[in-house]
């Protein structure tokens, strides 16, 4: 015959569980909250820099520009390219882990190629085809080279929001 759990042991276990539950409830009711909802603690605020959204690439992040009129792109002026003209921007290294560059095609079929300075990272070739299409590049802190080329007769590109 197999022996079961002793009824006395079962009663003792249930009593201990009930006592612990009651004690936890009383402790929770008596304890006052240690944090207020008004302002997060300073240690939590300090983490904001680690998880903050990346900043956009700015004009001071750009080194060499070829041809010169390509620099107008980051000044907020739409850039017009013809099929025979490509634009190359060297994005310099920065202390930011990642920066973003949002590009929008206002007209034409634009080919975008971003080659990171770090040879271990692969080139990026996001799709920016149809009119009104937009893409956001993640630019690592080492920087790289952005090349824009027009795949149709005329292309107009701008920096998006």
Are 79 and 42 contained in the same domain?
no
Residues 109 and 40 in one domain: no
Q: Which of 50, 70, 146 is nearest to 102 (CA)?
A: 146
> Residue 1's pLDDT is what?
47
Same domain, 57 and 116: yes
pLDDT tens for each residue of 111-154: 999 999 999 999 999 878 667 788 888 898 899 999 999 888 99
Percent of the chain with pLDDT over 70: 73
On whether residue 29 sits in a domain, the answer given is: yes
Residue 28: its H or E element: helix 7-30
Question: Which residues form the domain of 149?
Answer: 53-159
Chain segment 49-98, per-residue pLDDT in tens = 556 677 888 778 788 888 778 888 878 889 998 888 889 989 899 888 88
Query: In this structure, are 36 and 72 located in the same domain?
Result: no
């Amino acid at each position: 015959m197999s022996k079961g759990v002793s009824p006395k042991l079962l009663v003792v276990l249930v009593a201990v569980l009930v006592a612990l539950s009651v004690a936890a409830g009383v402790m929770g009711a008596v304890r006052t909250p240690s944090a207020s909802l008004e302002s997060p603690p300073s240690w939590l605020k300090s983490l904001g820099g680690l998880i903050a959204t990346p900043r956009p690439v700015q004009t001071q992040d750009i080194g060499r520009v070829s041809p010169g009129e390509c620099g107008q792109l980051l000044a907020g002026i739409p850039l017009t390219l013809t099929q025979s003209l490509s634009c190359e921007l060297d994005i310099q290294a920065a202390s930011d882990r990642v920066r973003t560059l949002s590009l929008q095609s206002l007209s034409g079929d634009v080919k975008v190629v971003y080659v990171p300075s770090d040879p271990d990272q692969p080139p990026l070739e996001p799709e920016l085809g149809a009119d009104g299409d937009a893409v956001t590049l993640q630019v690592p802190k080492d920087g790289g080279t952005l090349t824009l080329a027009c795949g149709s007769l005329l292309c107009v590109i701008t920096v998006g929001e």
